Amino acid sequence: MLEPRDGIPAVIADESSLAEVIAAFAAGSGPVAVDAERASGYRYGQRAYLVQLRREGAGTALIDPVACPDLSGLGEALSGVEWVLHAATQDLPCLREIDMVPTRIFDTELAGRLAGFPRVGLGAMVEGVLGYVLEKGHSAVDWSTRPLPEPWLRYAALDVELLVDLRDALEKELDRQGKLEWARQEFDAIATAPPAEPRKDPWRRTSGMHKVRRRRQMAVVREMWEARDRIAQRRDVSPGKVLSDAAIVEASLALPVNAHALAALNGFGHRMGRRQLEQWQAAVDRARALPDSALPAHGQPVTGPPPPKAWADKDPAAAARLSAARAGVSALAEQLAMPQENLITPDTVRRLCWEPPVTADAESISAALAGYGARAWQVELVTPVLVGAMGAVAKVKGA
């Protein structure tokens, strides 16, 4: 499919046109297909730069959320309507920022995972389920560009063109497999999940961080990462366009004593001006001047179990439980034709095996799983597997 059935609609970029779209979509029928395009790698943050919708009776709409930043009216018009998204957790945060919050969703990517499809990208799903090949190739472009080129708009409109058709086909397949209720529970969990908490110490995720072993060097990474983040936010550009992760790590390992020494490092070459070099050197100097007590710790405080590779030494019984549980979950996931992580999250299994209930019976394990956020269908399916794994290990230990 190279063209939307109704052609490429004009981009909505003023309040009067938006009001017409809101009225049309409120009067439409059935689910509404929703998608959003961001400018990852180009702009700071993950805001939406284009919102696409399609609904029976309303057609397709392409909305510029920069020109129309308040879409609460549209969100209200679609309240109670099922929203069809592909990989919903990627788009919901940026939609929430513009006051578009669904009460019900159908996630076609997640549906594909539960149904056992080996490839769950939108293009692969549409081709495999509906037999259409979508024009692709513009997913990684700079969607903050204005005006948006026609080929990009065509791509964006096609992303919602067949989404409801895909939803309908997947619903039938899930029902055929006896998994439709499971999917509904998963969709409800996504729709009702609170916004994610801000990541603690995000600088620790700097690419190449594994090379940084001394606390003073870690402090350099932290200071440079935070300085870069402030600049990127002020300029509204991707942090990687301000300074690369590789350059930050290089500076942390070298601990340059002045801007001249910094300029000799990879990532700080001749193209960087004196003023820029001095601002990065100032970050290095701040880290060098910190007292030992203010240096970052080697690792973040661990709130859950230790890494599984350490279990054999720390708690051999827990290691045996985890091995048995993983084998059981893997076998059940294969039997159900779905990824293990969709059957039950690996973190939940680890936590349960590290600190099992005093009495590892079905009731206590079910309660523990629910406490970790497992849905009712997961609890029902996984509890017998985990009870069996715990019991087998206990018998071996007691023998």
Count the domains in the chain: 3
Do 107 and 155 share a domain, yes or no? yes
- Which pLDDT belongs to residue 391? 82
Do 258 and 318 share a domain, yes or no? no
Do 229 and 374 share a domain, yes or no? no
Kindly state whether residue 35 falls inside one of the protein's structural domains. Answer: yes
Q: Quick check: helix, strand or coil at residue 51?
A: strand
Do 232 and 276 share a domain, yes or no? yes
Residuewise pLDDT in 10s, the chain (399 residues): 778 999 999 999 999 999 999 999 999 999 999 999 999 999 999 999 999 999 999 999 999 999 999 999 999 999 999 999 999 999 999 999 999 999 999 999 999 999 999 999 999 999 999 999 987 777 789 999 999 999 999 999 999 999 999 999 999 999 999 999 999 999 999 999 998 888 899 999 999 999 999 999 999 999 999 999 999 999 999 999 999 999 999 999 999 999 999 999 999 977 789 999 999 999 999 999 999 999 999 877 667 899 899 999 999 999 999 999 999 999 999 999 999 999 999 999 999 999 999 888 999 999 999 999 999 999 999 999 999 998 876 655 554
- Which pLDDT belongs to residue 397? 59
Do 184 and 227 share a domain, yes or no? no
Q: Which domain holds residue 222?
A: 202-294
Do 66 and 174 share a domain, yes or no? yes
Kindly state whether residue 3 falls inside one of the protein's structural domains. Answer: no
Q: Which pTM value belongs to this model? A: 0.91
Q: Which of 174, 192, 210 marks a domain boundary?
A: 192
- Which pLDDT belongs to residue 45? 94
| Rounded to 5°, angle at Cα 29 from 75 and 162 | 85
Do 217 and 182 share a domain, yes or no? no
Q: Which of 192, 220, 236 marks a domain boundary?
A: 192
Do 157 and 241 share a domain, yes or no? no
Q: Which of 235, 266, 294 marks a domain boundary?
A: 294
Kindly state whether residue 302 falls inside one of the protein's structural domains. Answer: no
Token digits of residue 394: 């206990």
What is the DSSP track for 203-221?
Answer: GGG-TTGGG--SHHHHHHH
Which domain CATH number covers 363?
A: 1.10.150.80
Which domain CATH number covers 112?
A: 3.30.420.10
Kindly state whether residue 300 falls inside one of the protein's structural domains. Answer: no
- Which pLDDT belongs to residue 11? 98
Which segments within 39-196 are labelled E, that is strand? 48-56, 59-63, 82-85, 104-107
Kindly state whether residue 140 falls inside one of the protein's structural domains. Answer: yes
